[in-house]
Chain A
Amino acid sequence: MSTLSSEVGQALGLPIGFDVDRVREDFPVLKQTIHGKPLVYLDNAATAQKPRAVIDAIVKFYEVDCANIHRGVHELSQRSTAAYEETRSKVRRFLNARSNHEIIFVRGTTEGINLVTQTWGRTNLKAGDEIVIAGLDHHSNIVPWQILCEQTGARLRVIPIDDRGDLVLDEYEKLLSPRTRMVAVGHVSNALGTVNPVRRIVRMAHDTGALALIDGAQAVPHMPVDVAALDADFYAFSGHKLFGPTGIGVLYGKADLLEAMPPYQGGGDMIRTVTFEKTTYNDLPYKFEAGTPDIAGGIGLGAAVDYVTRLGIDKIAAYEHELLLYATEALERIPGLRIVGTAREKAAVLSFVMQGIHPHDIGTVLDHQGIAVRTGHHCAQPVMDRYHIPATTRASLAFYNTPAEIDALVAGLYKVKEVFDE
């Protein structure tokens, strides 16, 4: 299969310098069979697999360097602190942020967004203010804002999507007003793969006097992200979708905004001095990092950033784009299959429905052939409602997927038809 994939890859004109067979060797999990068939992992938008370098970094931390950070004078604590803080520098460079102070470690994108709603939001919003989100958004960029609206009396406005899955920017423009205080949108839709024109969205928000937060969970693993160029006020992503461990993520925020925000949680590490009369808070970024963090996760995330940087995020993006085109063409040839989400600019996500066959049945039959896809509403129920479907089947690709795996998916879908078609 590996030889085949590189041959097909060359035939496709996949970018030279991206050796997918070699890359696959870095991912231990991929070398297994499921129900007797080679694993074809196409659920990368849910979580990505971890390269050996990430797993080794975590094992090394627990075997050699394990200690709490920011407190001990002993050797192990200094090593663990250095490794954890080194990740902050790596992430800062990866996102092109100005300062390490702007990189806040959180559990994931969801916590990053909740941090902003509960600190910036509760301090700054009042009844009558408006927050704009997108009709494509994941529940993690809907529900925290809804909670904030309940708490403050602010109102949620939603940018509609068109039939292809693109945001309707004319409607977005109409939603903007002096009441708009925050525009929070996903960079890439997890359900449809749409890449939103976030630079333009941020600029339009700023022109109205609003701030902009970008949910980058689905973008960071697949394309270069430059927060300075985007001029986003906040940008959140999850480590586990970037081939890093679960339980660690990043909230980027502009330093002046973060300085003015109250702490998120209270506890150790986020304070400078504590007395029963008055507590003073630590400087950025520690003000927002109460308690012992996921140290191993942070170190693993650093290894993941290194790994992706070494492969080259531009090369990853180019390879995945070729694979998306190959997969789109292959799926479109299957009778009765309809791809949901055909935006002008798309990440490597293929959401689809099949005539008369429920996604859950598709998922089970594919699983029997070793193929892992996601079925359901993808934590984006409003998107499903928009297209009047209860659910889709979603194949989401990563740079270690191959054209041969797309062929296996297509063969799997014909098997699905064989089971369920009349």
Chain B
Amino acid sequence: MIDDLYQETILDHSKRPRNHHVLTGANRKAEGYNPLCGDKLKLYLKMDGDIVVDASFEGAGCAISTASASLMTESLKGKTREEAMRLMDKFHDLLTTDTPASRDLGKLVVFCGVRDYPARVKCATLAWHTLKSALNGSPEPVTTE
């Protein structure tokens, strides 16, 4: 069913994305690009040492990619770099494997329906690819390719 993909939380976050603005005082920035659909995303992080104090994003994409960026920025706050990377791996597993969702994912489990839509996995992972780039401090825009 189409509702399994577009769950209420995803629709809510796509229509009213949280943390959707430039982040003043950000000390990490990265750009993501999905060549398949032309979606572009800018991610801002404010890091205090190893900890993500604040996160935000800019850019418009499909419902899946916007909701993913919105929920990701919410879930990052207060996490260490290591915890954020681990969460990214678990999120990736959720989208691409049949393994039961990890409890650590919290609200992010709403993306479980995406695994039935292989063409849409990249929409959900764009923000996370961009996060990796921001945490690694790589200056080039990343793509989902």
Q: Using CB atoms and an 8 Å cutoff, list the residues of chain A in contact with chain B.
A: 357-361, 364-365, 368, 375-377, 381, 384, 390-391, 419-420, 422
Contacts and interface: CB of A to CB of B under 8 A. Distances in A.
B6 to A, nearest CB: 6
A368 B15 CA distance: 21
B141 interface: no
Interface string B9-47: 001001100000000000000000000111110000000
23 contacts: A358-B37, A358-B60, A358-B62, A360-B37, A360-B123, A361-B62, A361-B63, A364-B120, A365-B2, A375-B37, A376-B37, A377-B38, A384-B38, A390-B37, A390-B39, A390-B60, A391-B37, A419-B2, A419-B11, A420-B14, A420-B15, A420-B63, A422-B15
Nearest to A381: B38
A390 B61 CA distance: 9
Interface of B: 2, 5-6, 11, 14-15, 36-40, 60-64, 117, 119-120, 123
Contacts of B2: 364-365, 368, 419
Contact of A358 (B5, B11, B63, B119): B63
Contacts of B11: 419-420
Given A358-B61, A391-B38, 13 more contacts: A358-B39, A360-B64, A361-B6, A364-B2, A375-B37, A376-B36, A376-B38, A377-B38, A390-B38, A390-B40, A419-B2, A419-B11, A422-B15
Nearest to B2: A368
A365 to B, nearest CB: 6
Contacts of B6: 361, 365, 419-420
Contacts of B37: 358-360, 375-377, 390-391
B88 to A, nearest CB: 22
Most chain B CB inside 10 Å of its own CB: which residue of A358, A360, A364, A381:
A360
A360 B62 contact: yes
A208 B63 CA distance: 50
Contacts of B117: 364
Contact of B5 (A357, A364, A381): A364
Nearest to B117: A364
Contacts of A359: 37, 62
A419 B12 CA distance: 11
Nearest to A421: B15
